[in-house]
Structure 1
Amino acid sequence: MAHPEQSSGQGKRVGLLGRGSERALLDRMIAAVRTGESHALVVHGAPGVGKSALLEYAETAAAGIRVLRAAGVESERELAFATLHQLCVPLLDRLTDLPAPQRDALETVFGMQAGTPPERFLVGLAVLSLLSDTSEGRPLLCMVDDAQWMDRASAQVLGFVARRLLAESVAFLFGTRRPGPELHGLPELEVTGLGDADAHALLNSVTHARLDQHIRDRIVAETKGNPLALLELPRGLTVTQMAGGFGLLHADTDTLPGRIEQSFLTRIENLPEQTRLLLLIASAEPTGDPGLVWRAAGQLGVTPATALAKGTDGLLSFDVRVIFRHPLVRSAVYRSATEENRRAAHLALAEVTDPQVDPDRRAWHLASAATAPDEAVAAELERSADRAQARGGPAAAAAFLQRSLALTGDTSRRSERALAAADASFRAGDLDAARELAGIASRDARSEFQRVRAQLVSSHVTLAAGFNDEAPPRLLTAAQRLEPFDTQLARETYLVAWAAATFAAADADSLMEISRAIRKLPPPEDGPRTLDLVLEGYALLVTDGRSAAAPTLRRVTAALADYPAQDLLKWGWAACGVSCAVWDDRAMCETYARAVEVVRTAGALTELPIYLASLGIATCLTGAFSAASAIVAESETVAAATGMPIVQHTRLLLTAMQGKEAEASTLIADTIEWAGTHGQLNGVTCAHWAAAVLCNGLARHEEALVAAQASTRIAQVFVSVWVLPELVESAVRIGRDAVAHRAMEDLADAAEPYDTDWAQGILARCRALLSDGTTADDLYREAVERLGRTRLRPELARAHLLYGEWLRREGDRVEARDQLRRAYEIFVSIGMGAFAERARRELLTTGEALRKRKSEASSSDELTPQEKQIALLVRDGLSNPEVGARLFLSPRTVEWHLRKIFTKLGIGSRKQLRDSLTRTEQATVPE
């Protein structure tokens, strides 16, 4: 196929014209890949502008580099991982070198084995590893042309991989008309028309007529220098038409692509009928298999002798694959055919497509050939959807099911198929389609159960659109209506409704209504399972208080320790908060760490940020700030990969506890504005909590009181309790004793039923603030003793601080210095700068000379969050492939980061890295 900038036979042949800056950019990219760098570039522009020519130039320039090619095909957009399979076929013999989970993921999506549908990000990691391993021996150039027609699953995976490349000898080039959302954020090169001189040279190469200069100028201007237009529009025109210019400039269509396509249509119309039919069959067959095209042609009586007797005017060629002159030729051929001929072509292709080897394409052809509802074809499409779902292609499954629904004439089947299509569309992230299909399912439902399930899908769509106050009541109604039909599904829906209400920080009445409905559920016939205990405990927490809920919630805490991974993935995000409710810091840390590991291993990145937020807060509470920073980095990596906005709960609390006033204040204000606008009041609550912590650390207690009161005004089961100690402390410090006592009563209600060192230590510390004399002294000592047995080092340090401040005011300077010194040392070692400064100033008033100290964690302060995350994981003994799997990086990228880490820390080995990082910097929470 000729380059768009090249002559296709008329006039003098020219090479690739112009494009000096574009070629220089590609040359630099290829040179960098040879030296071990990774690059990605999205080349985009109008049809015919020369994108494919530039990709072919890059391939020519990449001598000695292995090139993998793939192209999106419009008719294959519904086949999951079709483009990815094209690209990876030459590398399938290397799958055995991948870690088992990654190998299984690729073999499943490529249909090489049956298995559980893998998360697409696990597929992405597998492709990243495959390309990285391949590039070890020889640099790699991956080119995807017509990327606008990639199937969604391939686009998501390849966009993810292109973003994760860094230190591999791999380059990605995408050619597309316009970058889709999956490629947003990658470097772009917009290709426009040729400059005037080059455009005139190209026009001269394909015209024999001596054209008036004004006509030439007008042609170049009207085509905007589009190479394909300059090559194709003059074809077939007479000397008179060329000389006048009217044949070029007065096509029936207004847009330039339309004009180019019209020129192709004119050429197509001049071909014999048998040739046109051959082109139609080829345009409807996406794989480009010559044997398949000719067998289908034979079904319609078309033979090579008759179809190719006069050639194809350069529009179609047969080689290893069937190749069209340009994608616009394919679309022009297909669209210009009659409906009858199109259906005949698809039917012929279906008849020659092996139902065992390629059942999905056969089903798609049958669907395109159907003239009316056809139950047999609809059922075949359902089976194709099942296969797509099994390969982890929810978008493809949704497309098959939507087409199946369109061909369903049996009204008794429509609702079920609409439900299946709605669910698949929801899982694929197409919320608008899911909502519309759920409406169809409800409208065509023949039973109450179908209507309820349709409402359930609609409710999940509302929840997925954002944790706001619309979802909980919808989910509650769905759960209530499900009870007579499926008690297990009803209970799961109740749990999601309850959790959604707490995440959205919905009004107290909504949470109470959900909890009362849960309490009315009949007891399980086979005895309570973990899900039932979670429901019962959560409901009691709201309806009867924490004392009534305590026994049930304690049982749940033990059960969650070894809860099945599949259930954690299903609704663990809603259940893991039990350990927080019972004030069990060890269970909290271990439960969230396990949940994150399960979700991370499964590659479920869309759910991972929820689990990371919980683990991040738990990690902050332990004082492992470097680990919390690593969690922030991972959350942001995941958000960038998935395109999902997140409330930065961990960063909020972390910066507040560190006392980074400017950064924390900006983040708090931005979060309150964004979360409030989006109805995510849990984010608002967390932001006010962080503000209270920050201001208490800075000894700005009036501001801390305002923030703490704002946080407790929102109905949130966990955070509005955790902020109560901030409220007590700030109120006492500014003499608002009545406010402090009311907050103390609320804290006692929440913590007294739980005999844990966390709960009782916090209670003792806050009660000491409201006490005098021996009582206060005993309570402070109890707080120090109890919190010293927890993992919560910041809370212990604050107990020492408050005890020291009280002792100083009581005149016991010696004991005050001891307590304040302990507080200061812990604050410094953790990195709680504002609280450390507060303790230092207090120490100075006792007469102790004390210089400011840097945090012991400062040895790694110059590392970026991602570098610190990698350093901590390596320090904890993970290999480069294990770190890469955790962070969605290739092992070579991990090694590249490690070299930078070693340089920054002035070390040369992993052993020195372990010695360099302090023991407080843990990649997991403390033991």
Structure 2
Amino acid sequence: MGLYGRTAEQELLSDLLAGARAGASGTLVLRGEAGIGKTALLDWLAAEAKSSAGEDPVRVLRVTGIEPEADIAFGGLVQLLWPVQERLASLPGPQAAALGAVLGSGEQRGSDRFLTGLAVLTLLAELAEDGLVLCLVDDAQWLDQATAEAMLFAARRLAAERVAMVFAARDGGFTAAGLPEQPLDRLQDVDARRLLAQAGVAPILHQQVLTASAGNPLALLEFAAARRQQAGHPVPLSVPDRVLAAFRARIAQLPERTRLLVLVAAAEGRGELPLVLEAAKLLGIGLGDLEQAELAELVHVMHGTLTFRHPLIASAAYQGAPLARRLAVHQALAEAADDPDCRARHLAAAATSPDESIAAELAAAAERARARTAYAAAARLFEHAARIAPEPDRQAELLAEAARQALVAGLAPLAVELADRAEARTGTAAVRVGLAPLRAAAAAEVDDHGHAAGLLLHRAAEASPDDAASLLRTAADQAWQAGDAGVVRDAARQLHALGADDSVATAWAALTEEKYDDALARLRRVLARGGDGREQPACPTLPPRLLVAAGALGDDEAALRVAEAELTRCREEALIGSLPQALEAWAEVLVVTGRYREAKAAVAEAEEIARDIGLRRRLARLATVRARIAAVQGDEDRALAAGLPGSEGPPHTAVLALLDLGLGRTEKVLERLEAVPAGWPQATLMPLAAAADQVEAAVRLGEPERAAEPLQRFSAWAHAAGTSWGRAVVLRCRALLAEVDALDNVDPDNLYAGALRLHEGSGRPFEQARTELAYGEWLRRSRRRSHAREPLRAALAVFEQLRAAPWAERARAELLATGEVLATAKPTADNLVDRLTPQELQVVRLAAAGQSSREIAAQLFLSRRTVEHHLYKAYPKLGVGSRRDLARLDLG
């Protein structure tokens, strides 16, 4: 049967195929209602790929989502990759282990739910070394979530692997954000009539069929085959529903034994003929009863597989059967099944009352799904087990497990709901206490750290001393994130009363009371010992405590060390879900130490991964890091564009204040920073860091009294922290105030000179350049023009290197006012690196260090071909022709 009215779609698919052959991988989602022709287009594309291959080999991998198997972990991926499982040995170790666990050929298991997606990407890239790979996914709306996550992760990261991937999905199902989509419209009358003519329908019947089918190709063929008017159907019925009704009518005309066998096949779902026949035998029917369904062209049997001509036929067969018959069929399938997951699914479908034995089988299936990192499937199976379990406490236990798996799967709202339901099922204090960390973690994942902290604090009162201490430590973590100073202090007090003092919680409590000496001394000890086993946060949204400790101390070296260690761990263990947070922490340190290019590359990588795996809230936090660079560089559009929903709050306020300061909007700086809520507990991370901006704005505005309080806090912190850059900034602030006589009998010259001595080697070039600029401005105003030039030149050099345009303009203006003649800036080696994209920069730096394409691919979670694609794009930009040449370049 030919395709009519699909010329545009065929051209789009042909272009996708041609691009992949040329080395530009691509993905497309075909979207439309049931019967609109999605499968026909996939069939056409598979045939087109083979017919146009010529001498080039082509491999077609296909998978069809199956509605009854939507909860079977990785069922779709097994179907897709089973024909190529022998290629697993070519993958890096962790990836091979992940796919081995999925396909049942390995013992090792991954701990990251996205590792399987990376393994799929690498496997497809390896297959593409032999020729074009075409991946076709039909009925994607019915893929199990683990398969969908893995395939979408791979699809979004395809670049230069000679892979084309096409998903076909119904309207309203299968979310594929970021992938290009092509909607399929119904056929125009002229194309519909051509299709009917090809099907041998008499012209006299065309109008009746056209009216009833409304241009849906499947409806056209089915209604034409039935040779009957559809006007008797109620008008509100959609076309797919009318087709479903037509299929039910055709099934109803089959012999009773055939109808029963068709029902068995529909309930089984996978098309495994041996299992269908074994269950049929238990019901007193057999293979001979299938003949009438084949003759009616409702089903096809080939190579031991039974398939329905269209998924709607299976739906019609199942939905049209009486309940008692459906239950009997599922019971027979359960008895006939060898696969324990399949048995559990059919036992659950056959259950009509609570049954602990069935609940136990579902829980065992959930454990197997969890072991394969199919956490969403595990959550649903545990939840189903809870519905069948007879005892409330057992229901609570299973719901709690379901919530844990939902949390790991990234389904935070579902985790909250399941945890709340678990709480409602039990009246035992011990069980409630056990649920508290889970409920708090789920609440925190939906960005309600305040609720999480309060819940933990409340439950700690019911807990044993050991459990209470654990709850209180986590409560302090959550309260710190939420900005609830009262709960931070309360948790620390209760820990002290229990004799279970926690270094970090106590330090945070001290910070909220501005007891900097005590707080920072504790954090310094935590960093020195590297943690005591309790320093890792209990919730995925909380940053590692060591990293927070380093940030609170302003210890850039320590923060960089901790962040790099976390990055290394994530890369070596392929912890893709944890990598964006590690990259964010690393980028924050890179920004303050002036390594903007590296910071942008880290943020770009983190954003790409976060988008790929759906970490929307992480994107908001990453936006604040990007916004800070834009603020320094005076790029207002970019700074404001980075303000994604969820990135608002004191940290983003500080970024916007810095932007305003650079652009000369001093009153706005003070308005923003003075509006930050008093008592915000992360004082060392935002208000203190912005104190210097408040001081400078107040001085420039002629209102130095507004600088007194922020400077007092910052000075106390800098003294306790002992960092040279912090003490230098304090001296700069005092010098600014001394310039306007806000400090009596203090010589600004001595203060500036002292600040510059402290800045030497402190590792914060932007802060040092700000001090040099302020000093040069003061010297020039004091008519010491020749003395002013040296600090102004130094400041200008740094500002130009950082692309800090408004600050560089100030430095230039001051230099001109001293009589300096400024030469046009000459191109530097940095200009070469600026030509690269963030990912190209990462790739060339690793290549210059001697790493192979395969090693780089494993580090950056890319395919080897994509790495080489980035290298070949980078070479002409850098003016080199090989990896050997890269080693001679200064890549920063």
Q: Same fold (TM over 0.5)?
A: yes
CA contact (8 A) 1:381 1:401 kept: yes
Partner of 2:771: 799
CA contact (8 A) 2:472 2:491 kept: no
Higher mean C-alpha displacement, 407-416 vs 860-869: 860-869
Partner of 1:95: 88
User: Alignment partner of 1:143: what SS?
Assistant: strand
Partner of 1:859: 832
Partner of 2:634: 659
Q: Match for 2:661: what amino acid?
A: N
Which of 444, 458, 474 is the aligned partner of 1:477? 458
Partner of 1:336: 320
CA contact (8 A) 2:725 2:759 kept: yes
Q: Cα gap change, 1:879/1:475 in structure 2, threshold over 3 Å: closer, same or farther? A: farther
C-alpha distance in 1, partners of 2:397/2:655? Answer: 48
Partner of 1:80: 73
Partner of 2:16: 29
CA contact (8 A) 2:845 2:891 kept: no
Higher mean C-alpha displacement, 589-598 vs 85-94: 589-598
User: Alignment partner of 2:11: what SS?
Assistant: helix
Segments of 5+ residues of structure 2 without an aligned counterpart are 51-56, 740-744
User: Alignment partner of 2:369: what SS?
Assistant: helix
Partner of 2:881: 908
CA displacement at 1:56 relative to structure 2: 0.5
CA displacement at 1:198 relative to structure 2: 2.8
Q: Cα gap change, 1:106/1:333 in structure 2, threshold over 3 Å: closer, same or farther? A: same
Q: Cα gap change, 1:339/1:127 in structure 2, threshold over 3 Å: closer, same or farther? A: same
Which of 397, 400, 404 is the aligned partner of 1:419? 400
CA displacement at 1:752 relative to structure 2: 1.3
Partner of 2:136: 143
Which of 257, 269, 285 is the aligned partner of 1:286? 269
Q: Match for 2:652: what amino acid?
A: A
The one-character-per-residue Cα deviations of 1:597-636 (angstroms, maximum 9, x if unpaired) are 4345555555444443332221111111111111231232
Partner of 1:45: 32
Partner of 1:58: 45
Which of 308, 312, 327 is the aligned partner of 2:311? 327
Is 1:868 equivalent to 2:841 in the alignment?
yes
Which of 645, 648, 655 is the aligned partner of 1:690? 655
Partner of 1:258: 241
CA contact (8 A) 1:480 1:490 kept: no
Q: Match for 1:617: what amino acid?
A: E
Is 1:642 equivalent to 2:649 in the alignment?
no
Q: How does 1:83-232 map to 2 (within 5 A)?
A: 83-178=76-171, 180=173, 182-206=175-199, 210=202, 212=204, 216-232=206-222
Higher mean C-alpha displacement, 516-525 vs 219-228: 516-525
Partner of 2:223: 233
C-alpha distance in 2, partners of 1:661/1:20? Answer: 46
Q: Match for 2:880: what amino acid?
A: I
C-alpha distance in 2, partners of 1:492/1:650? Answer: 28
Q: Cα gap change, 1:497/1:833 in structure 2, threshold over 3 Å: closer, same or farther? A: same
The one-character-per-residue Cα deviations of 1:455-474 (angstroms, maximum 9, x if unpaired) are 54443333222356554434
- C-alpha RMSD of the superposition: 2.8
Higher mean C-alpha displacement, 870-879 vs 68-77: 870-879
CA contact (8 A) 2:125 2:163 kept: yes
C-alpha distance in 1, partners of 2:175/2:329? Answer: 33
C-alpha distance in 2, partners of 1:545/1:595? Answer: 30
C-alpha distance in 2, partners of 1:884/1:567? Answer: 30
C-alpha distance in 2, partners of 1:555/1:233? Answer: 78
Which of 450, 471, 479 is the aligned partner of 1:498? 479
C-alpha distance in 1, partners of 2:879/2:89? Answer: 38
Partner of 1:435: 416
Which of 678, 686, 690 is the aligned partner of 1:723? 690
TM-score, normalised to structure 1, is: 0.88
Q: How does 1:533-552 map to 2 (within 5 A)?
A: 533-543=503-513, 545-552=515-522
C-alpha distance in 1, partners of 2:449/2:492? Answer: 21
Is 1:516 equivalent to 2:487 in the alignment?
no
CA contact (8 A) 2:474 2:538 kept: no
Segments of 5+ residues of structure 1 without an aligned counterpart are 1-5, 7-14, 920-927
The one-character-per-residue Cα deviations of 1:407-443 (angstroms, maximum 9, x if unpaired) are 1112331221222222223333334433333232222
User: Alignment partner of 1:49: what SS?
Assistant: coil
Q: Cα gap change, 1:38/1:362 in structure 2, threshold over 3 Å: closer, same or farther? A: same
Q: Match for 1:154: what amino acid?
A: T
Partner of 2:700: 733
CA displacement at 1:332 relative to structure 2: 0.8
C-alpha distance in 2, partners of 1:746/1:855? Answer: 43
CA displacement at 1:219 relative to structure 2: 2.1
CA displacement at 1:660 relative to structure 2: 2.4
Partner of 2:549: 578
User: Alignment partner of 1:123: what SS?
Assistant: helix
The one-character-per-residue Cα deviations of 1:577-606 (angstroms, maximum 9, x if unpaired) are 111212212112222232234345555555
Partner of 1:9: none
C-alpha distance in 2, partners of 1:877/1:523? Answer: 56
Is 1:316 equivalent to 2:287 in the alignment?
no
User: Alignment partner of 1:178: what SS?
Assistant: coil
C-alpha distance in 1, partners of 2:697/2:760? Answer: 23
CA displacement at 1:331 relative to structure 2: 0.8
Aligned-residue sequence identity (percent) comes to 36
Q: Match for 1:638: what amino acid?
A: I
Partner of 1:622: 593
CA contact (8 A) 2:634 2:804 kept: yes
C-alpha distance in 2, partners of 1:564/1:897? Answer: 42
CA contact (8 A) 2:141 2:174 kept: no
CA contact (8 A) 1:106 1:126 kept: yes
Partner of 1:466: 447
CA displacement at 1:743 relative to structure 2: 2.1
Q: Match for 2:490: what amino acid?
A: R
Q: Cα gap change, 1:565/1:61 in structure 2, threshold over 3 Å: closer, same or farther? A: farther
User: Alignment partner of 1:446: what SS?
Assistant: coil
Partner of 2:742: none
Partner of 2:427: 446
Q: Match for 1:633: what amino acid?
A: A
Q: Match for 1:620: what amino acid?
A: V
C-alpha distance in 2, partners of 1:17/1:819? Answer: 75
User: Alignment partner of 1:288: what SS?
Assistant: coil
Q: Cα gap change, 1:911/1:776 in structure 2, threshold over 3 Å: closer, same or farther? A: farther
C-alpha distance in 1, partners of 2:868/2:236? Answer: 55
Partner of 2:527: 557
User: Alignment partner of 2:30: what SS?
Assistant: strand
CA displacement at 1:103 relative to structure 2: 1.6
CA displacement at 1:32 relative to structure 2: 2.1
Q: Match for 2:781: what amino acid?
A: R
Q: Match for 2:385: what amino acid?
A: S
C-alpha distance in 2, partners of 1:172/1:905? Answer: 33
Q: Cα gap change, 1:253/1:373 in structure 2, threshold over 3 Å: closer, same or farther? A: farther
Q: Cα gap change, 1:755/1:185 in structure 2, threshold over 3 Å: closer, same or farther? A: closer
Q: Cα gap change, 1:830/1:397 in structure 2, threshold over 3 Å: closer, same or farther? A: same
Q: Match for 1:557: what amino acid?
A: L
User: Alignment partner of 2:73: what SS?
Assistant: coil
The one-character-per-residue Cα deviations of 1:679-705 (angstroms, maximum 9, x if unpaired) are x6xx33223322332333345444433
User: Alignment partner of 2:264: what SS?
Assistant: helix
Partner of 2:384: 403
Higher mean C-alpha displacement, 186-195 vs 701-710: 701-710
Is 1:594 equivalent to 2:578 in the alignment?
no
CA displacement at 1:38 relative to structure 2: 0.8
C-alpha distance in 2, partners of 1:391/1:201? Answer: 49
Which of 866, 872, 892 is the aligned partner of 1:899? 872
User: Alignment partner of 1:235: what SS?
Assistant: helix
User: Alignment partner of 1:519: what SS?
Assistant: helix
CA displacement at 1:116 relative to structure 2: 4.7
Q: Match for 1:257: what amino acid?
A: P
C-alpha distance in 1, partners of 2:818/2:293? Answer: 103
Q: Match for 1:892: what amino acid?
A: R
Q: Match for 2:392: what amino acid?
A: T
Q: Cα gap change, 1:264/1:903 in structure 2, threshold over 3 Å: closer, same or farther? A: same
Which of 259, 268, 272 is the aligned partner of 2:251? 268
User: Alignment partner of 2:33: what SS?
Assistant: coil
